[in-house]
Amino acid sequence: MSGVADGTMTDAPLAEAAAVLQAGGVIGLPTETVYGLAANAADEQAVTSIYRIKGRPADHPLIVHVADALAAQQWAEWTPAAQRLADAFWPGPLTLVLRRRAGAPPFASAGQDTIALRVSSHPVFQRLMQALAPVGITGLAAPSANRFGRISPSRAAHVRSGLGSAVPLVLDGGPSEVGVESTIVDLSRGAPVLLRPGGISLQALADCLGQPVRAADSQATREADAPRVPGALPSHYAPSVPLRLLSAGALAALLQQRATALSAAQTPVIDGLPMGRIAVWRPEPPPEQPGLFWRCQPTEVALAARHLYDTLHQLDALGVDAILVEQPPAEPAWRAVQDRLQRAAAAG
């Protein structure tokens, strides 16, 4: 099912998607962050289908996507902080974790008394929510439309190649504009905590709230009272082959080791990893070597985020032994890209 380049779409595929969702089905849905695997969040069997298709553990909650802040208040105990953030960043790549409202459907919360909510800015999402309003669907559970732990999809083609016939209807809204998953802020425990970095910076959140926002490290996310959220596992977003995240100097040295092995007619095995065919994602082209495939890593953070998953999908499809990625700058603006690459590297 296709859209057009500017993300607009005729009424027919939207009507078909609404009918599938009303009947308890699951669809592929574009958002500005990544493509989602969407189902009616108030339908227990439909939400169960998401977990089954993704192979996602049942104790991992899903984000519920709603039309606006007013709809969010049907699902959560709303707070002044939530209103300030919603006014500033919705619709957009921000997810709020709040106490789930009494009586709100619990199926996307994975047994927790909190719920994660977001309003996507993608025009296809906005129009679909308008089509769903008359049939009473106010929230779509929509995790990334990929197998659990694998590279997230930023194009409709990624959904089709990754999930195949398990998701027969994929709305094509073009490539995702942001390219990495939403920023997640926990407002359920008093002081705000950043649980997952994304397209909205820590400083922008703090400026909006008028108070510091703590960034949860891996230890903080394991606290007993911290809500579980998507994408917080040490290993996630991974290609099918090992990914190595290296400083510029370490990557150059590794490539030199590989060149030396090749010149000696040896099969390159470095740190126990075969490197007969490798893919490299770094800003500058590496010296030419047999079996080396290079993609240019953007030096502007928004472009790097937008192209991250699409590039990893491309490189993973080459049938290489490993993907080598140059460490992005250690700057706050690069926090989300760093986070995704570190978790992808942890899988290998």
Flag whether 221 is marked binding.
no
* Residue 270 scores a pLDDT above 90: no
Flag whether 33 is marked binding.
yes
Q: What is the mean pLDDT of the chain?
A: 93
The three-state secondary structure class of 158 is: helix
Assess whether 98 and 174 both reside in one domain: yes
Q: Is residue 235 part of a domain?
A: no
Q: What is the pLDDT of residues 76-127, one digit of tens each?
A: 999 999 999 999 999 999 999 999 999 999 999 999 999 999 999 999 999 9
Task: Please state whether 220 falls in left (phi above 0), alpha (psi between -120 and 50) or beta.
Answer: alpha
Q: Is residue 228 part of a domain?
A: no
CATH of the domain at 272: 3.40.50
pLDDT for the residue 221: 46
Assess whether 50 and 188 both reside in one domain: yes
Q: 322 CB contacts (<8 Å, ≥6 apart)? A: 241, 242, 243, 244, 273, 274, 275, 278, 279, 348
| Owning domain of residue 252 | 243-346
Assess whether 198 and 255 both reside in one domain: no
CA–CA distance, 289 with 9 (Å, rounded to integer): 44
Flag whether 201 is marked binding.
no
| β-strands 214-215, 193-196 pairing | parallel
Flag whether 118 is marked binding.
yes
* Residue 3 scores a pLDDT above 60: no
Q: 338 CB contacts (<8 Å, ≥6 apart)? A: 327, 328, 330
Q: Is residue 336 part of a domain?
A: yes
Q: Is residue 223 part of a domain?
A: no
For the chain, the domain total comes to 2
Assess whether 261 and 330 both reside in one domain: yes
Assess whether 270 and 202 both reside in one domain: no
The three-state secondary structure class of 7 is: coil
Assess whether 203 and 248 both reside in one domain: no
CA–CA distance, 46 with 50 (Å, rounded to integer): 7
* Residue 328 scores a pLDDT above 50: yes
CA–CA distance, 34 with 306 (Å, rounded to integer): 9
Flag whether 247 is marked binding.
no
Assess whether 185 and 254 both reside in one domain: no
Q: Is residue 272 part of a domain?
A: yes
CATH of the domain at 117: 3.90.870.10
Q: Is residue 76 part of a domain?
A: yes
Flag whether 152 is marked binding.
yes
Which amino acid would we find at residue 51?
Answer: Y
Assess whether 204 and 94 both reside in one domain: yes
Does residue 176 or residue 225 have the better pLDDT?
Answer: 176
pLDDT for the residue 267: 85
pLDDT for the residue 25: 98
pLDDT for the residue 230: 84
**8-state DSSP, 170:** B
Specify the DSSP element, H or E, that contains 337: helix 335-346
pLDDT over 90, % of the chain: 87
In a 13 Å sphere around the CA of 198, the CA atoms on its Cβ side amount to 27
Assess whether 211 and 290 both reside in one domain: no
pLDDT for the residue 8: 66
Assess whether 16 and 78 both reside in one domain: yes
Angle at 263 between CA 259 and CA 267, to 5 degrees: 75
Assess whether 172 and 310 both reside in one domain: no
Q: Which of 157-161, 267-271, 305-309 has the lowest mean pLDDT?
A: 267-271
pLDDT for the residue 193: 95
Flag whether 237 is marked binding.
yes
CA 29: distance to chain centroid?
13
Q: Is residue 227 part of a domain?
A: no
| β-strands 273-274, 114-118 pairing | unpaired
